A and B are shown apart, each in its own frame.
Chain A
Amino acid sequence: EDKVVQSPLSLVVHEGDTVTLNCSYEVTNFRSLLWYKQEKKAPTFLFMLTSSGIEKKSGRLSSILDKKELSSILNITATQTGDSAIYLCAVEAVGDSNYQLIWGAGTKLIIKP
C-alpha cells in the first residue's frame, strides 16, 4: 500500500532556530513530491521535487529529494513566528491511466518568539 510518513508530527522551536522536517514515502511509480504550508485555511504550495529537480530553494526555505532513500527534507533557516504552520508533504504516483496524490499527516511547527 502506498504511504507517506512525515516526522516529527509536531515541533516547537524558538525564533531564529533552524528546523528540518522529514517526509518518507513508499509508492509505486513515483512522479513528484510536493510540500505545502497550511496556516489557518488553504494549504499553499511551496515546492515540487522530481527526478529532474531534486533541490529547490526559496528564501529561507529549501528542500531536497533523496530518491535513493525515498525521502525528502524541508529546511527552514532563521525561523520566524510567521513560519508557524502545518507543513504537508504529498507524493504523486502514476498508475496506468491516472495518477494519485498520497498525503502525509503533516508536521505542526510552532515558532516561539
Chain B
Amino acid sequence: KAGVTQTPRYLIKTRGQQVTLSCSPISGHRSVSWYQQTPGQGLQFLFEYFSETQRNKGNFPGRFSGRQFSNSRSEMNVSTLELGDSALYLCASSLAGYQPQHFGDGTRLSIL
C-alpha cells in the first residue's frame, strides 16, 4: 500500500511569489491535514480537508489556503511568500479523520 506522497520535495522561491504544494493521501483515506514545521516550533496545524470540504483550520493568515479534490488529493497554496514561510510542510492522511494520521516526507520550502 503506497504511503502519503508529497510533491515537490524541495522548493526555492523568492519573497512575494506564490507556491502550490501537492499531497496524495493513502488510498482510501479521505481526511488530509497540512502542517508547518519549523525548528523549535513543532508542528503547527494549518488546516484539514475531508470530502473536499475544509473541516478544521489553524491560526494562519489568509495567504495560506488549500483545497481537496474528489479523489482526496489535496493542494496547499501560499501567496505573497515571506521569509518566515521557510519551513517543512507536512501532509498527513487518515481514514475519515480518525487517528492515527500517516505523514508524507514533506516539502522543504525555502524563501530567499
Contact residues of A with B, CB < 8 Å?
A: 32, 34, 36, 41-45, 48, 88, 90, 92, 98-101, 103-106
Interface size on B, residues (CB 8 A): 21
Q: How far is the CA of A43 from the CA of B100 in the complex (A)?
A: 11
Q: Does B102 contact A (CB under 8 A)?
A: yes
Contact, CB under 8 Å: B41 / A43: no
Q: A98-B56, A99-B97, A101-B99 are in contact. Are A42 and B106 (CB under 8 A)?
A: yes
At the interface, is chain A mostly helix, strand, loop or mixed? strand
Q: Does B64 contact A (CB under 8 A)?
A: no
Known: A41-B105, A42-B4. 20 other contacts (CB 8 A): A34-B99, A34-B100, A36-B103, A41-B106, A42-B3, A42-B104, A43-B90, A43-B103, A44-B103, A48-B99, A88-B42, A88-B43, A98-B56, A101-B33, A101-B45, A101-B99, A101-B101, A105-B41, A105-B42, A106-B42
